[in-house]
Amino acid sequence: MDVPHRVGVLVFDGVKMLDVAGPSEVFTEANRLGATYELVLCSVGAVDVTASTGMRISVDADAADTGHLSTALVMGGDIFPSTPVSPELAGAATTLAGDADRMASICTGAFILAAAGLLDGRRATTHWQHAATLARGYPRITVEPDAIFVEDGTIFSSAGVTAGIDLALALVERDHGTELARAVAQSLVVFLQRPGGQSQFSPSLRGPRPRTGQLRKVVDAVAADPTGDHSITRLAARANVSPRHLTRLFQDELAPPRPSTWS
């Protein structure tokens, strides 16, 4: 008999219900097709919680007492980032990271990992609406605002809400291969790999997506920190091109305004 792949799911009052339900359904559907995931819902103090919908979630364990986990998922909620992450919740994430082979955040769960210091020196993403806030609040994190999910070593992070489904599918694919992951996606009527990034849902980022990697890097940097120093000199240095060449790239691909008007 296969050893269960234990997945810890950290929840709290105000947790986004879809953040919990989406990935959970992916793993449950994978089990129907032959996988052996075991979901362990946990919270600080093993206390049942109330989700964003008002629905009660019954937990299985204290986050400090889950035992070994193959995967630990930290959910998000609309309470972040306007509400600071409590030391208890950050501590629970730290404990789970020590118990798990790999760690992942869903949506604004990235703020919990960030508060715990687990994203320092790493690349990460979160909901597009809060990417700039994450970048400003935690400058040691390289925020990728357009990514659906990011993998950096053993720590994963997903974009907003339903992107948790994309991340869960990617984890299933790593564990059981593309064929099973595709079957799960087909059963749930979702993309195995959705087209485009999350910037397509952002009103401020609905312009044409740059074709060149150099220009995409610049646009993503501005999106992650709109209030930062984005002079033509700094942007050109980030893209490793001359200011004149960067201006030409903007003219060719994005049309006015030119980047020199940002300084």
* pLDDT digit string, tens, across residues 23-34: 999 999 999 999
Distances (CA, A) of 250 to 72, 129, 234, 244, 253: 41, 24, 15, 10, 5
Rounded-to-5 percentages of helix, strand, coil across the chain: 45, 15, 40
| CB-based burial, 30-62: b 16+ in 10 Å, e otherwise | bbeeebebebbbbbbeeeebebbeeeebebeee
What is the reported pTM? 0.76
* 150 has pLDDT over 90: yes
- Rounded CA-CA distance 228/231 in Å is 9
Q: Would you state the pLDDT for residue 203?
A: 45
* Mean of the per-residue pLDDT values of the chain: 89
Reported as a single tens digit per residue, the pLDDT across 77-117 is 999 999 999 999 999 999 999 999 999 999 999 999 999 99
**257's tokens:** 């305004």
Closest CA to 128 of 71, 62, 57, 200: 200
Reported as a single tens digit per residue, the pLDDT across 41-74 is 999 999 999 999 999 999 999 999 999 999 999 9
Q: Would you state the pLDDT for residue 202?
A: 46
Name the burial class of residue 189, with classes exposed (0-12), middle (13-18) and buried (19+) by CB atoms within 10 angstroms of its CB.
exposed
- DSSP assigned state of 209: P
Residue with structure tokens 């646009």? 219
Superfamily of 5-188 according to CATH: Class I glutamine amidotransferase (GATase) domain (3.40.50.880)
The tally of CA atoms less than 13 A away on the side-chain side of residue 117 is 5
* 258 has pLDDT over 60: no
Domain ranges in the chain? 5-188, 207-262
Q: Which residues contact 23 (CB under 8 A, 6 or more apart)?
A: 9, 73, 106, 164, 165, 167, 168
Q: Are 80 and 111 in contact (CB under 8 A)?
A: yes
Q: Would you state the pLDDT for residue 225?
A: 64
Q: Would you state the pLDDT for residue 58?
A: 98
Q: Would you state the pLDDT for residue 25?
A: 98
